[in-house]
Amino acid sequence: MRLSNTRKTVLVWLLGLLSSSGPVLAQTRQEFSLNEAIKFAVENNINVKNAGLDALSSESRIQELKGVALPQVSVAGALSDNLIIQRVFLPAQFGDPTAPADTPPIAVQFGVNYSSNLTGTVNQLLFDASYRLGLRAADTYRQLAQKNVKASKITVAEQVAKAYYGVLVNEQQIKLLDLNIARVDTLYHNTQALNKQGFAEKIDVSRLEVQVNNLKAERQNVKNLVELSYYLLKFQMGLGINDNITLTEQIQDIDLDAVERTNMQAAAEFDYTQRIEFSTLQSQIDLADLDVQSIAKQYYPRLTAFANYGYNTGRNKFSELIGSPWFNSSIIGINLSVPVFDGFQKKYQAQQKRFTLQKAQNNSQLLKNSIDLQIRQSTITLGNSLQTLRTQKRNVDLAQEVARVTKIKYQEGVGSNIEVLDAENSYRQAQNNYFASLYNFLQTKVDADKANGKLYTGQ
């Protein structure tokens, strides 16, 4: 059967539409190492974006301040309808020089019914000591805004690193649970076969079945936890909840000895400026010092120049305003303002600013002490968690060997089913303790990197 040209055209169009929409519907899986995940997060996390907007807003505020030194130009116009024109009283001799001295004054109307004017004014700042100081404060304010952005990025990097390690630990736990299930399930089926041959009791089979069921239930719980960990990681990175990602790093890639050496070296070479909190506080101290200086600058005179040029006219009939002549006028001048006495207001303002500066300086010393304590605590905690992790790893190896030997003894008929189950429970408990200590170690590692100012060093 032949297709008409119209049907052929429609069919081709539909095939093209389906082929073009295929890649759109399919989700692309993205791969991330830890550093790549952090880099992606600091570029896409909403909190970082908002901090960046705050920095842009502060930049606009700085440009607003700089605009004060530029010429200020304005144009103003007015149209007035003098409903009742005010009269001015003048001596009678003003209109009649021969009038007696006791003649009452005469009321003279000054003005017209309608008046209009249009004026342009230019003001220019010539000298203001506090303004020059404000420009220095603007640069410091810009640095402070940029440091706030970096502080937000460090917070995001910490959250992403902890979430990333959480996923790795949970995924590793699932792998070991799969091995446990396979091993115990094999033992269960072997015991079931022995029971059918009369070499094992039914209760032994039931005990092993319970063990297998418990392991499968635990695996399902950990699987759900892995899924939740991925959700948390994607949220911290600024990804959608349905985006597909793959983590390229593995727990086995972490060199425990290297982590310990790196942390000790970082603590020995630490500089306070590596901590964004300290750097931010130093900028705040600089701003507080500029605030103190700004009060003193207010005692200096302020000089501005001005100029205006305009036209005005007035008539008794509204229709005559447009066609009648307008008269121009212009003026230029300089304003000089010299503060003399303000009731000691600036004096007490300066005292308040100095107290604020002293508090900031005290906070700087307090922050140094706090940082020293954090570094010492993080170093000790990391060492303790590393020691615990190694101990738990040793316990896992020992429990695994005990479970292996107990299983062999049971299969050879010199051991009991109870001993096998106890050994398996001990092995699983050792694994749980190991993963708990592993997760705690990785979280402690992130805290130590943050304390040493090494967690995120980007801009």
Return all residues near 459 (Cβ < 8 A) that are at least 6 apart. Answer: 150
In sequence order, which residues have a C-beta less than 8 Å from that of residue 274 and are 6 or more positions away? 452, 453, 454
Does any domain span residue 404?
yes
Cβ neighbors of 335 (< 8 A, separation 6 or more) are: 303, 304, 305, 306
Q: What pLDDT does residue 181 have?
A: 92
At residue 222, the pLDDT reads 93
If you search the block for the tokens 């092993």, which residue do you land on? 208
Tokens representing 194? 């022995």
DSSP reduced 3-state for 230: helix
Task: Note the pLDDT of residue 12.
Answer: 43
For residue 172, the model assigns a pLDDT of 93
Instruction: Kindly provide the residue ranges of all beta strands, DSSP E only, lying in 255-384, ordered along the sequence.
Output: 302-315, 327-337
Tell whether 100 is covered by a domain. Answer: no
Cβ(397)–Cβ(431) under 8 Å? no
> Could you give the count of Cα atoms lying within 13 Å of 447 in the half-sphere of its Cβ?
19
Local structure of residue 113 (DSSP, 8 states): S
Instruction: List, for the chain, all residue ranges whose pLDDT scores fall below the cut of 70.
Output: 1-27
DSSP tag of 316: S
Asked whether residue 103 is assigned to any structural domain, the reply reads no
Max CA-CA distance within the chain? 153
pLDDT of residue 322: 81
Q: Is residue 313 part of a domain?
A: no
Query: Which residues form the domain of 153?
Result: 30-73+127-303+343-452
Q: 3-state class of 76 per DSSP?
A: strand
Query: 3-state DSSP call for residue 62?
Result: helix
Nearest-CA neighbor of 231 among 220, 240, 219, 218?
240
Residue 9 lies in a domain: no
Sheet holding 72-81, edge to edge: 72-81, 114-127, 302-315, 327-337
Looking up residue 351, the CATH number of its domain turns out to be 1.20.1600.10
Provide the pLDDT for residue 27. 57
Domain for residue 238, yes or no? yes
- The answer to the question of residue 457 being in a domain is no
pTM: 0.80
**2 DSSP assignment:** P
Provide the pLDDT for residue 7: 43
Q: Residue 249 phi/psi, 5° resolution?
A: -95, 160
The Cα–Cα gap between 379 and 383 comes to 6
Number of domains in the chain: 1
Domain contains 250: yes
Cβ-based neighbours of 285, under 8 Å, separated by 6 or more: 357, 360, 361, 364
